[in-house]
């Protein structure tokens, strides 16, 4: 209890300076560190001699020596980012402990110059130390501190595909973190007494020697409390209150207005929480530090300051100088940050004053939310629900017929454990492709490509035809092109594939064909690819920079597969040409009504950015 009271006292004494510092530092860090990280990432792709990064060339990227050289630089940048913040918090708590007032400029400068000591080879270990203790000292507020940074999805995908290796690394990492907690005071000695990293570790170990588990327990409990509060403010409380409003307020307009006000109120609470959470963690660490040290370090610190002559200075001049410096820093930070937002590297905050509403909606495998995928029922329902484009998948049977089916195996949608290429059309005709979905669609048949083309021609349906050839297929490309030519469908369809070479061959056979290259993951400059008319990219890989590059080359980009309002609105702000959804009706409604919640959405994005 004594440590908790001391923690709050340390934080409260210089609270205004700490919060102002957090605001200034977040603005400046967003403008400097995030663009620097993405610049390094782009440069690493270039050095690996890869035009763009996808799942197909990820192994090549990670075998390039340059990738690891730049990774070390990236780690140092992150360490520097966190070290400045942590050092500033320690200086703030030290000032509070000495009952002295500080200001955000002083904290920023002290944090910055202390972090620069990392350049000394003797202090390089502090970079690793800072990164290893982050889970305990930043808790889930890392997401708030790094709101402008997001790991590119291409790397997250790679991690998911190698999950066992990843979990092994995480286990080792957590073990190291556990060990690092026992030298948690290293950073205090490093920052306050200007000791080397090795000296700081030795002093930190001595201080915590007989109090390890007490301090560890306290840090864990603080993290749990902060995590629960964050979860409460960010989701549960806001959702529950808005749900209650919906029940109480019968008038839709009144509910809409009050809901926006409430959401903004909760966002302000979340902003305040994100600004104070990390300082509160460090207030506890520092209070424990002072309690165990019994003010010995404080007395030593006073001696050092007196030797340096820091007790005699003109306070009034210093305050005036600090104010001018603070205004200058804030102004520069805002300008840099504005420029960064203009570039929209990560597209979290858009300068658009309204959502573009010209994006088309593609029904993924028909209206697959309400009818069995890739059936005539799903296709008809998609047309009825005003889908602009209907996406279908084409496979070839053993006797050369083309059917609408996504999987190579028939098992998932028909219950038959055979592959399409192993059976003939006569066998396919008798399969039930609807009972797996619901009793209502029992005895639904698998349609042929010719049936779909005939229906599409009659009902003016634009088709996104994904080609899925198998090793057993013969004359697959020629057969599909022949059917499209038979129904004069070249102007009303796109041929899509994840195989670039396949699309290249098709384009070479008939230049009138519109080709759509499907990318599961992507990073880099690929907008000028030859033989490609449009790109279909997984929605969480898309950035404004990517969209602009593709549009600059006169091509289109579609986002797949999106079924949530937040994701659809996010890609609308990037100005994509279309979204691919399992629920075309709902997607159309979201796009049509997007600007009804413009202010709230903009403010929410702003909160996430900062």
CA distances 603 to 22, 191, 544, 608, Å, are 19, 37, 19, 9
Q: Give CB contacts under 8 A, 24+ apart, made by 531-538.
A: 531/500, 531/503, 531/504, 531/507, 532/500, 532/503, 533/494, 534/494, 534/558, 534/577, 536/464, 536/496, 536/560, 536/580, 538/153
Do 455 and 333 have their domain in common?
A: no
Tell me the helix, strand and coil percentages in the chain, rounded to 5.
65, 10, 25
Measured distance CA(444)–CA(433) in Å, rounded: 5
Give the Cβ contact number of residue 530 at 10 Å: 7
pLDDT at residue 371 in the model: 94
Is residue 351 assigned to a domain? no
Do 427 and 301 have their domain in common?
A: no
Measured distance CA(553)–CA(244) in Å, rounded: 49
CA distances 241 to 164, 247, 493, 591, 601, Å, are 40, 10, 47, 26, 18
Read off the tokens for 569: 């609105």
Is residue 506 assigned to a domain? yes
Read off the tokens for 109: 């400068």
pLDDT tens digits, residue range 465-494? 999 999 889 999 999 999 999 999 999 999
Lowest mean pLDDT among 117-121, 147-151, 541-545: 147-151
Do 65 and 151 have their domain in common?
A: yes
Do 517 and 404 have their domain in common?
A: yes
pLDDT tens digits, residue range 520-556? 777 777 888 889 999 999 888 888 888 988 999 999 9
pLDDT tens digits, residue range 279-313? 888 888 888 888 887 745 444 445 444 554 544 43
- DSSP secondary structure letters along 210-278: T-HHHHHHHHHHHHHHHHHHHHIIIIIHHHHHHHHHHHH---HHHHHHHHHHHHHHHHHHHHHHHHHHH
Read off the tokens for 519: 């990318």
Do 338 and 364 have their domain in common?
A: no
With cut-offs at 50, 70 and 90, classify the pLDDT of residue 137. low
Mean pLDDT of 104-133: 84
269: containing domain: 2-343
Do 375 and 272 have their domain in common?
A: no
- DSSP secondary structure letters along 509-567: H-TTS-EEEEESS-EE--TT-TT-SEEEEEGGG--HHHHHHHHHTT-EEEEE---SHHH
What global pTM score does this model have? Answer: 0.58
Is residue 348 assigned to a domain? no
- Give the DSSP letter of residue 383: H
Is residue 350 assigned to a domain? no
Read off the tokens for 534: 């449009």
pLDDT at residue 142 in the model: 44
Taking CA 503 as the corner, what is the angle to CA 571 and CA 460, rounded to the nearest 5 degrees?
65
Is residue 354 assigned to a domain? no
Lowest mean pLDDT among 511-515, 541-545, 546-550, 588-592: 541-545
With cut-offs at 50, 70 and 90, classify the pLDDT of residue 349. very low
Query: Of the residues 282, 312, 343, which one is the last residue of a structural domain?
Result: 343
Do 373 and 500 have their domain in common?
A: yes
Give the Cβ contact number of residue 167 at 10 Å: 11
Is residue 549 assigned to a domain? yes
Is residue 300 assigned to a domain? yes
Do 319 and 431 have their domain in common?
A: no
pLDDT at 173 over 90: no
Residue with tokens 């209650």: 244
Do 338 and 366 have their domain in common?
A: no
Higher-confidence residue: 133 or 559?
559
Query: Of the residues 295, 312, 343, which one is the last residue of a structural domain?
Result: 343
The CATH number of the domain holding residue 419 is 3.20.20.190
Q: Give CB contacts under 8 A, 24+ apart, made by 40-48.
A: 40/70, 40/73, 40/74, 40/77, 41/74, 41/152, 41/523, 42/524, 43/70, 44/70, 44/71, 45/523, 45/524
- The average confidence (pLDDT) of the chain is 78
Do 237 and 369 have their domain in common?
A: no
pLDDT at 581 over 90: yes
pLDDT tens digits, residue range 377-410? 999 999 999 999 999 999 999 999 999 999 999 9
Do 338 and 483 have their domain in common?
A: no
- The count of domains in the chain is 2
Query: Of the residues 285, 315, 343, which one is the last residue of a structural domain?
Result: 343
Measured distance CA(596)–CA(592) in Å, rounded: 9
Is residue 407 assigned to a domain? yes
Do 375 and 260 have their domain in common?
A: no
Measured distance CA(173)–CA(161) in Å, rounded: 19
């Amino acid at each position: 209890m004594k440590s908790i009271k001391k923690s709050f006292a340390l934080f409260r004494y210089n609270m205004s300076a700490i919060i102002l510092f957090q605001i200034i530092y977040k603005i400046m860090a967003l403008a400097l560190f995030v663009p620097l990280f993405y610049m390094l990432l782009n440069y690493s792709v270039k050095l690996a001699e890869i035009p763009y990064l996808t799942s197909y060339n990820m192994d090549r990227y990670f075998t390039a020596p340059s990738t690891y050289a730049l990774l070390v630089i990236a780690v140092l940048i992150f360490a520097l980012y966190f070290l400045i913040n942590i050092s500033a918090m320690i200086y703030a708590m030290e000032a509070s402990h000495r009952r002295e007032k500080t200001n955000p400029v002083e904290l920023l400068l002290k944090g910055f110059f202390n972090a620069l000591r990392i350049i000394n080879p003797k202090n390089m270990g502090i970079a690793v130390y800072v990164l290893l203790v982050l889970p305990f000292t930043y808790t889930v507020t890392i997401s708030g501190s790094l709101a402008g940074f997001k790991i590119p999805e291409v790397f997250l995908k790679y991690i998911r595909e190698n999950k066992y290796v990843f979990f092994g690394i995480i286990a080792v990492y957590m073990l190291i973190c556990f060990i690092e907690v026992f030298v948690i005071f290293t950073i205090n000695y490093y920052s306050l007494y200007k000791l080397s990293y090795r000296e700081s570790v030795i002093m930190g170990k001595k201080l915590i020697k007989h109090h390890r588990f007490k301090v560890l327990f306290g840090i864990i409990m603080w993290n749990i409390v902060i995590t629960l509060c964050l979860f409460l403010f960010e989701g549960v409380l806001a959702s529950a209150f808005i749900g209650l409003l919906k029940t109480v307020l019968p008038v839709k307009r009144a509910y809409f207005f009050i809901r926006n006000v409430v959401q903004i109120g909760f966002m302000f609470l979340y902003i305040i929480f994100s600004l104070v959470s990390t300082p509160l963690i460090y207030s506890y660490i520092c209070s424990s530090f002072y309690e165990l040290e019994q003010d010995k370090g404080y007395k030593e610190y006073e001696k050092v300051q007196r030797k340096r002559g820091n007790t005699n200075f003109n306070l009034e001049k210093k305050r005036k100088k600090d104010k001018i410096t603070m205004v200058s820093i804030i102004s520069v930070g805002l300008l840099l940050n504005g420029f960064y937002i203009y570039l929209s590297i990560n597209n979290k905050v858009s300068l658009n004053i309204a959502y573009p509403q010209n994006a088309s909606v593609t029904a993924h495998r028909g209206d697959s939310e309400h009818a069995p995928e890739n059936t005539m029922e799903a296709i008809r329902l998609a047309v009825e629900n005003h889908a602009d484009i209907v996406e279908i998948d084409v496979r070839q049977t053993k006797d050369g017929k083309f059917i609408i089916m996504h999987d190579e195996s028939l098992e998932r949608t028909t219950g038959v454990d055979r592959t399409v290429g192993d059976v003939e059309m006569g066998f396919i005709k008798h399969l039930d492709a609807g009972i797996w979905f619901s009793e209502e669609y029992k005895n639904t048949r698998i349609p042929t490509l010719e049936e779909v083309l005939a229906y599409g021609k009659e009902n003016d349906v634009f088709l996104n035809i994904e080609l899925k050839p198998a090793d057993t297929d013969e004359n697959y490309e020629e057969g599909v092109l022949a059917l499209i030519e038979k129904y004069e469908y070249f102007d009303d369809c796109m041929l899509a594939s994840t195989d670039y070479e396949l699309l290249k061959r098709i384009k070479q056979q008939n230049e009138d064909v519109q080709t759509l290259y499907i990318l599961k993951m992507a990073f880099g400059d690929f907008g000028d690819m030859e033989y490609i008319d449009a790109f279909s990219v997984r929605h969480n890989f898309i950035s404004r920079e990517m969209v602009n590059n593709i549009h600059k080359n006169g091509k289109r980009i579609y986002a797949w597969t999106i079924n949530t309002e937040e994701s659809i609105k996010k890609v609308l702000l990037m100005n994509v040409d279309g979204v691919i959804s399992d629920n075309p009706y709902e997607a159309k409604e979201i796009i049509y009504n997007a600007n009804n919640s413009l202010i709230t959405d903009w403010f929410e994005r702003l909160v996430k950015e900062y």
